[in-house]
Amino acid sequence: ALQACQCQDEAERLVSAASRIAAASDCSELCDSAGTPSRRDLERCIEHSSERVREARTGVANTHAKSMSALDRATTEDTERPPDPSAFGVYYARLQHQQNMLQDVVRTDTYRRAIVGNADDFRGKVVLDVGAGTGILSFFAAQAGAGRVYAVEASAMAERAAALAASQGNARLARYAPDESRAQKGALSTSKLSADAAWDALDPTARIHVVRGKVEDVTIPEHVDVIISEPLGFLLVHERMLEAFINARDRFLKEGGLVMPSRGDIYAQPITDGQLWQEQEAKASFWRSQDFHGVDLSALHDAALDEYFGQAVVGYYPPEAAVSDDVATYKFDFGTCSVQDLRKFEIPFSFRITRTAILHGFGCWFDARFDGSTERVVLSTSPKAPGTHWYQSRLLLRRPVAVNPGQTVSGTLKFAVNDRLSYDVDVDVVLDGTSVSSHQRVRLDDQMYHYLTPGQPQVPHA
C-alpha cells in the first residue's frame, strides 16, 4: 500500500511537470505567432499555464481516488489517525516502559515457552498479536513457525515494531526465505474479511505485518488460527486490555481456534500488615490540623482516610502475612467468556482463620494459563512465586477486623469497571457469628506503590 502511494505521488509529479512543459510550449507558439509578446500576452500565457497545471492535478487526484481499494483507504485513515491519547497510549509508546516489561524474565520466558514450546499449534498458521508493543510475541510466533502474523498495536510503538520487523537482523523471522513452501507461509484463508484488494496490499515477502490501530477498529484480510496477547494488568484486569483481547477473538478467530493466554485466575486471601495500615493512616493525619496557617482542615480528615485506604497497594508481600490457609478464586476462560463477563463480577469468600491477628485487608494476585496441545504453561504472580513487574495487590480495610483461630470471615469482592480504564472493587467482610463487619471501596486505578521496602524480592531482569 505504501509503495502504491509512493508511485501515485511520483506519477503526479511527472504529470505536473509534463503539463508545465506542454503549457510552456503552447505559450511559445503564441509568442512566435505574434512576434514580440505584449504584457497582456504574457499575462494570458501565465494564466493558461496555471490552468493546465490545475487540470492535471485534478485528473491525478480523481484517478488516485478511484483506484484506491478499501484496504488502501483504511490504511490511510489509520496512518493519519492521531496517537492513542489515553495515559496508557502514551505510556506504552515509550521504549523505557517496553524495556521494563521485556526485562521481566518471568513474563518474557513464560510467554516464549508457551509459544515456542507449542510449535505444533503455530506451524504454518495465521496468527494475530493483540497489543503487540515491540512485537516480541510476533517474533516468538515466527520462531514457532507461524505462516503469517498480524501485529496490531494502538500506540506509536507500532512504528518501533515495524522498524524491528524491517531490520536486517530480524529478516529470517519477519520475512519469508526464498525457498519456503506455500504450506510454511500459511495457506490463504478461504474466510476472508475484506476484498481481494486487501491481499494485494500485503507485502508477499513479509511474514510479520504490523498494523497501527486499536484492534476494535482495524481490519485485517482474513480470519486467524491463533490469537496471542499480553493483556494483563495488575490484579489481572487493571487497564481493561482483556476486553480488547476478547473483542479480537470475537472478530477474527476461526471456529476452533486457539487463544493464548487461555485462562486467567484471580486469587485473594486475608492478610495482616500493621505497618502498611499505619502508614496509610498516618498520611491522612495531616488533615486533622485545626490551625493550618489559620485554617481548620479537620473537616476533610474523614474523606482523606477514605481516599488513602481506597488506594490499591501494589507491591510484594510475604506469604507469612496470610491469616488463613484458604484462598478464594475467580476463573476466566478466555476462549468462552464475554466482554460483559469482564465488566462486572464478584468473588465470594469464606476463610477459616488460623491465628490471632488483626485482619487489615486482602492480598491478591493472578495466574495466566496457556493451554497448548504440547505443553501447558502457567505464569504466576503469587507471593510464593518468583517476582514479576505485576507484583501483588493489597486491598486494605479502613476499619480492620480482629480475628482468632477457628473463627471464619465471609463476604465478597465485587469488581465493576469504571471510566478510567480500570475497576472499582467493593470489599465487604463479616466476622461470622458476630455483628462485626467492614466495607471498603478500592479504586484499582489509584495505586500506591509499596515494592521498594528493604528485604523484599526484586523483579528478576534479563
Say whether pLDDT at 225 is over 80: yes
**What is the residue-averaged pLDDT of the chain?**
84
CA–CA gap between residue 392 and residue 315 (Å, rounded): 5
CA–CA gap between residue 354 and residue 319 (Å, rounded): 14
Give φ, ψ of 14 to 5 degrees.
Answer: -65, -45
Say whether pLDDT at 31 is over 90: no
Count other C-beta atoms under 10 Å from residue 266's C-beta: 21
Pick the residue with more confidence: 325 or 69? 325
Model pLDDT, residue 211: 94
Say whether pLDDT at 441 is over 90: yes
Q: What is the mean pLDDT of residues 220-243?
A: 96
Say whether pLDDT at 214 is over 80: yes
- For the stretch 363-392, pLDDT in tens is 999 999 999 999 999 999 999 999 999 999
pLDDT band at 197 (very low <50, low <70, confident <90, very high): low
Query: Do residues 114 and 260 touch, judged by C-beta distance below 8 A?
Result: yes
Lowest mean pLDDT across 51-65, 299-313, 380-394, 438-452: 51-65
Percent of the chain residues topping a pLDDT of 90:
71
Pick the residue with more confidence: 59 or 381? 381
Instruction: Mention every residue, 6+ apart, whose C-beta is less than 8 A from residue 408.
Output: 350, 351, 352, 353, 432
Which of 40, 56, 19 shows the shortest CA–CA distance to 31? 40
| Extended strands (E) in 196-244 | 208-212, 224-229
> Counting beta carbons within 10 angstroms of the beta carbon of residue 147, is it exposed (0 to 12), middle (13 to 18) or buried (19 or more)?
buried
Q: What is the mean pLDDT of residues 319-342?
A: 98
Q: What is the mean pLDDT of residues 42-55?
A: 52
Cα dist. 278→224, 284, 393, 454 in Å? 52, 10, 17, 18
Residue 205, Cα to own-chain centre: how many angstroms? 27
Lowest mean pLDDT across 47-51, 122-126, 127-131, 348-352: 47-51
Count other C-beta atoms under 10 Å from residue 458's C-beta: 9
CA–CA gap between residue 37 and residue 118 (Å, rounded): 81
For 455, the grid coordinates are 528485604
Say whether pLDDT at 324 is over 60: yes
Model pLDDT, residue 184: 61
Which of 273, 460, 461 shows the shortest CA–CA distance to 385? 460
- For the stretch 250-260, pLDDT in tens is 999 999 999 99
Q: What is the mean pLDDT of residues 209-218?
A: 94
Q: What is the CA radius of gyration of the chain?
A: 30
Model pLDDT, residue 43: 54
CA–CA gap between residue 252 and residue 127 (Å, rounded): 10
Query: Do residues 441 and 426 touch, judged by C-beta distance below 8 A?
Result: yes
Model pLDDT, residue 179: 78
Cα dist. 356→359, 385, 397 in Å? 9, 26, 17
Say whether pLDDT at 347 is over 80: yes
- For the stretch 140-190, pLDDT in tens is 999 999 999 999 999 999 999 999 999 999 999 999 988 775 556 665 554
Lowest mean pLDDT across 82-91, 102-111, 273-282: 82-91
Model pLDDT, residue 21: 41
Model pLDDT, residue 22: 43
pLDDT band at 25 (very low <50, low <70, confident <90, very high): very low
Say whether pLDDT at 284 is over 60: yes
Q: What is the mean pLDDT of residues 318-346?
A: 98
Count other C-beta atoms under 10 Å from residue 76's C-beta: 13
Say whether pLDDT at 460 is over 80: no
Model pLDDT, residue 193: 60
